[in-house]
Amino acid sequence: MKTILVLGTGCPKCHKLEENVNEAVKAMALDCRVEKVQDIRQIAALGVMMTPALAVDGRVVVTGRVPSVDELKQLLGDAGR
């Protein structure tokens, strides 16, 4: 099962990323777990210095921006390969 981490401290962009991720996951019918990480120490431990960010199975794939649902579908599909 894929683990998707939405990394952010709670700003509006972080909430939008979480919303877009959930929409992409639902549209793709992915078998995954989506978690929101707001602890700045956990975020920094992944090497992220700019939020919002997205990590898939421990690999950071987006930082500092909110990708569209379509872009997230591509990223999540590629991350599964």
At 11-30, the pLDDT tens digits run: 999 999 999 999 999 999 99
Q: What is the CATH number of domain 2-79?
A: 3.40.30.10
pLDDT of 79: 62
- In this prediction the pTM is 0.91
% of the chain residues with pLDDT over 90: 93
Evaluate whether 56 touches 4 at the Cβ level (below 8 Å): yes
What are the pLDDT digits (tens) for 57-67? Answer: 999 999 999 99
pLDDT tier for residue 78 given thresholds of 50, 70 and 90: confident
Task: Count CA atoms within 13 Å of residue 60 on its CB side.
Answer: 19
Active site amino acids: 11, 14
Any idea where the domains of the chain sit in the sequence? Answer: 2-79
Evaluate whether 64 touches 52 at the Cβ level (below 8 Å): yes
Helix axes 12-28, 69-79, angle to 10 degrees: 60
Beta strands in the chain, from DSSP E residues, in sequence order: 2-7, 32-37, 53-56, 59-63
